[in-house]
Structure 1
Amino acid sequence: MSFNPIVASGPNGSMPHYSGGERVIGENDIVILDLGGRYKSYCSDTTRTLFTGTPTEEMKKVYEIVKRSQAAGEAAVRPGATGQDVDRAARQVIIDAGYGEFFFNRVGHGVGLAVHESPYMIEGNDVPLAPGNVFSVEPGIYLPGKFGVRIENLVAVRPDGSGEALNHFTRELTICGD
């Protein structure tokens, strides 16, 4: 493992770096799974938000906003783009949807020999992304005391400056347990 996994259900999902407790995942619950492994000393990192039954309309709405935000962050990776550009592209989707105050962390971080390293996808990082950089794009909306939604892919910068998603897990709303 590249880090201790995060399994946060229900209101615990409103804490981006939840570290565990006694809550049991229930029916019609929402669950954030954030995990990573190591291969030849290199780290991975991915997050998906799953449902254990029928999500509420609010959960579905927030999920779709985060999915669009994550896609916008990935699409911002192009020749000359900076970490700030990726952050702004993803963040703007959430702001435009009226949830800006509930997204309070950076959009992403580099992943390599360490699970959190440069380059950072954050406002103020105006260093151009370079071919070979690998980083996360992981926007989220965290509604205190209710639930959270996060979707994370790793992206590699290709030699031509474009981005390539390294994760191949679906980003579609997924209901488990049927």
Structure 2
Amino acid sequence: DQRVIQEKDIIILDWGCKYNGMCADMSRTVFVGDITEEERQVYEIVLKSQEEGEKAAVKGAYIPEVDKAARDVIKDAGYEKYFFTRLGHGIGYSVHEAPDIKKSNQRYLEEGMVFSIEPGIYIAGKFGMRIENIVAVTENGNEILNKASKEIKIIKNV
């Protein structure tokens, strides 16, 4: 369905590009007009989850533990049933490739792997939010490839 953006909408912007045959991907959530206290709290939960996932995603980490690090933030806040997607996906020559960052992928992260960390809370009929960065595993940890701010953005005067 198509419609005009309205006051109080919450928009997940998901975009990427290709450079020298390699894919990029990023998601940010923006608020139109204003933000409620509940929306602000849920956004902060998603942000903390995303950051914990990034911190855990280092060389040698067990992928289910990376998933757990991010997912536990949402679970502890009481929103577990609203985070029903994988935590992330590999990216490279294709936008979606191995390794999937999810509980059932029983692999360890290796230097050179590149993937998204993109937790979200999606409450049907109410709102959805996601924050996504791309992480590259390095010899000494990781590098976050996206540099865009993850601060709350409110678009006024639409």
The answer as to 2:144 corresponding to 1:165 is yes
Kindly report the root-mean-square deviation, in angstroms, between the aligned alpha carbons of the 2 structures. Answer: 1.1
Measured in 1, the distance between the counterparts of 2:59 and 2:102 equals 18
Code of the residue aligned with 1:94 in structure 2: it is I
SS in 1 for 2:143: strand
SS in 1 for 2:12: strand
SS in 2 for 1:149: strand
The answer as to 2:122 corresponding to 1:142 is yes
Give TM-score scaled by structure 2 length.
0.95
Partner of 1:71: 51
**Cα displacement string for residues 89-115 of structure 1 (whole angstroms, at most 9, x for unaligned residues):** 110000000000000010001000011
Partner of 2:60: 80
SS in 2 for 1:31: strand
1:108-127 aligned at under 5 Å gives the runs 108-127=88-107
Greater strand proportion: 2
Question: How many matched pairs?
Answer: 157
Partner of 1:15: none
The runs of 5 or more residues in structure 1 that have no matched partner are: 1-20
Question: Deviating runs (4+, > 2 A) in structure 1?
Answer: none
Give TM-score scaled by structure 1 length.
0.85
SS in 1 for 2:98: strand
Partner of 1:104: 84
The answer as to 2:2 corresponding to 1:53 is no
Measured in 2, the distance between the counterparts of 1:70 and 1:105 equals 13
